Amino acid sequence: MKISNITVYKADIPLRESFRIAIMEITNAQNLYLKIETDEGLYGMGEASPFWRICGETQAISLAAARDLALLLKGKNPLAIEARIADIEGYLDNNPTIRSAFDMALYDILGKAAGLPLYALLGGEKRELVTDLTIGINDPEYMAGRAKEIVAQGFKAIKVKLGTTAADDIARITAIRKAIGDAVPIRIDANQGWDFNTALEVLNALEPMGIQYCEQPVVNWNYIDMAHLRRRTSIPIMADDGLKDHHDAFKLCSQDCCDYLNIKLSKAGGIRNSLNICAVAESSGKACMVGCMLESRLGLSAGAHLSSARSIVKFCDLDSALLLAEDPVTGGISYDGEKVVLPDAPGLGADVDPAFLSRLESFTI
């Protein structure tokens, strides 16, 4: 089997409402879809969701890189994933988001060739997955009202974006906790927005408020302050923006900077490196979460398969499709309240509506 054609689609998908985190504000998902076709009729789909402030990529950068990677892979065997990932990483050491789309599409082909859903191909089984639902930064009253809506929809965990001033962030969580009561866990994510002193002040104030964990409280490179902070709060610390691949996982775990690791395919460069992160976490006694950028249900399906295949994944944050104003994906994961239901079709079990793809700017190599 050889790769015959690769088509790259520029996919701008509006959000239901503007979404603000500490380091950026987003009004639409500037994603890419990727289709790798083979000379035996099988094809694989992948998705990239660039976050320039986290992964250093824009949609335009990913489009340019995709053209080079497509030229690199055309004519080669898609089933030899180790060799193909070595080709990709040997050519383009950075740009993990577009690399993840190629990786995802290759695994999709492999699953289809084997006749297995991805979770089974990876040696796992279907298990129950639940996701939280995320609230972007806004005023406390709005966020509290949104939290009540999320609980009413059946979600048993809420993720809240923070990372502004100590007073404002404490007010946000205080209002949310008052609105929803004490039973629902709150997960917080500062997205590098605090310095050490602000982080310590906020976390100390929030300790009585049932915070399940805090993601990336300080800037991504500051492992020293993360380690100090972890020792001075009872709230577990999760590495996110500072964790891209398994090399970062090794450094974070060896320096005991965190309790949990947040794996995102778009940061890690895809499924293969995400599996490596799981292995590092397991060997270090750390649990993982599989999270997301602003992927549609295509990219989220890959993350859900990974979550189901590895028991070290204890948490899921696979809610980005619920933030999008349009759903162009056929098949793939579905939602039953907080439950994420995996497909049993081979590979990812997800595709993109051809009518939607026909409207997009694209090129084929």
SS3 of the chain: the string is CCEEEEEEEEEEEEEEEEEEECCEEEEEEEEEEEEEEECCCCEEEEEECCCHHHHCCCHHHHHHHHHHHHHHHCCCCCCCHHHHHHHHHHHCCCCHHHHHHHHHHHHHHHHHHHCCEHHHHCCCCCCCEECCEEECCCCHHHHHHHHHHHHHCCCCCEEEECCCCHHHHHHHHHHHHHHHCCCCCEEEECCCCCCHHHHHHHHHHHHHHCEEEEECCCCCCCHHHHHHHHHCCCCCEEECCCCCCHHHHHHHHHCCCCCEEEECHHHHCCHHHHHHHHHHHHHHCCEEEECCCCCCHHHHHHHHHHHHHCCCEEEECCCHHHHECCCCEEECCEEECCEEECCCCCECCEEECHHHHHCCEEEEC
Q: Are residues 345 and 232 in the same domain?
A: yes
Q: Are residues 289 and 357 in the same domain?
A: no
Q: Are residues 359 and 264 in the same domain?
A: no
Question: Looking at the predicted structure, is the pLDDT value of residue 93 above 90?
Answer: no
Q: Are residues 125 and 53 in the same domain?
A: no
CATH number at residue 357: 3.30.390.10
Please give the pLDDT value at position 350. 98
CATH number at residue 309: 3.20.20.120
Q: Are residues 338 and 233 in the same domain?
A: yes
Name the pTM for this structure.
0.96
| Each residue's pLDDT tens digit, 204-226 | 999 999 999 999 999 999 999 99
Please give the pLDDT value at position 198. 98
Given pLDDT bands bounded at 50, 70 and 90, which one contains residue 51?
Answer: confident
| Each residue's pLDDT tens digit, 151-208 | 999 999 999 999 999 999 999 999 999 999 999 999 999 999 999 999 999 999 999 9
Owning domain of residue 109: 3-115+352-364
> Is the pLDDT higher at 54 or at 72?
72
Q: Are residues 104 and 179 in the same domain?
A: no
Please give the pLDDT value at position 254. 96
Q: Are residues 13 and 53 in the same domain?
A: yes
Q: Are residues 151 and 260 in the same domain?
A: yes
Q: Are residues 42 and 168 in the same domain?
A: no
| Each residue's pLDDT tens digit, 309-357 | 999 999 999 999 999 999 999 999 999 999 999 999 999 999 999 999 9
Average pLDDT over residues 134-139: 97
Rounded percentage of the chain residues whose pLDDT exceeds 90:
96
Q: Known catalytic residues?
A: 161, 189, 215, 240, 264
Domain count, the chain: 2
Q: Are residues 201 and 183 in the same domain?
A: yes
Given pLDDT bands bounded at 50, 70 and 90, which one contains residue 55?
Answer: confident
Given pLDDT bands bounded at 50, 70 and 90, which one contains residue 97?
Answer: very high
Q: Are residues 75 and 159 in the same domain?
A: no
- Return mean pLDDT, the chain: 97
Please give the pLDDT value at position 52. 84
Q: Are residues 177 and 195 in the same domain?
A: yes
